[in-house]
Structure 1
Amino acid sequence: MIILLILVVLLVAWALQLMQRALECKEFSLMLAGTLVATSAAGLLAVYSLMGSYMGYMHGTAHRLSAYDFSSLEIEFATMPVEPVQTLSAQPEETSSNL
């Protein structure tokens, strides 16, 4: 977490430096580069927060499943009734030659 925050702060500082240089030199490409770097820092934080929420959800799900007693679900697959599968036979359609 701390490494991520340091990385984001460094990216934002770099973006601000690029934008400041863009204003001094009146260079559009530097402003665009600064905007892209700032956007990447925001995207990095967004992905980290989304993945943190997802991993927390999955961690909670694992704990709920480990606390569940699956012994009541003992099923012997060999003794389960199997119904026969009916196949559809293709019958040729009658064509009428009344034109």
Structure 2
Amino acid sequence: MMPWNQNYDPLGSILLSALVAALPVATMLVALAFLHVKAHIAAIAALAVAFVTAAFVFGMPFGLAARAAGYGIAYGLFPIGWIVLNIIFL
């Protein structure tokens, strides 16, 4: 597997690239604060925006983006499962 070198300024302007990189966070905040969407739906929407941004704007390979999304999901669910397990034993 070839390593992927991230381009931090794919749009030629550091400000524009930073604004595009902030789209997933903005999607989550707007969905929660203004659209009153449930948290898990807002998180899925932000994940979709992050995947599209990474793949199409920053040039991340689709397989690598999918694996990164899967790792992020597992990394987020593990602490929740750990807390639930401790509550069961309490």
Query: TM exceeds 0.5?
Result: no
Higher Rg: 1
Identify which of structures 1 and 2 has the higher relative contact order when contacts are C-alpha pairs closer than 8 Å and 6+ apart. Answer: 2
TM norm structure 2: 0.35
TM norm structure 1: 0.33
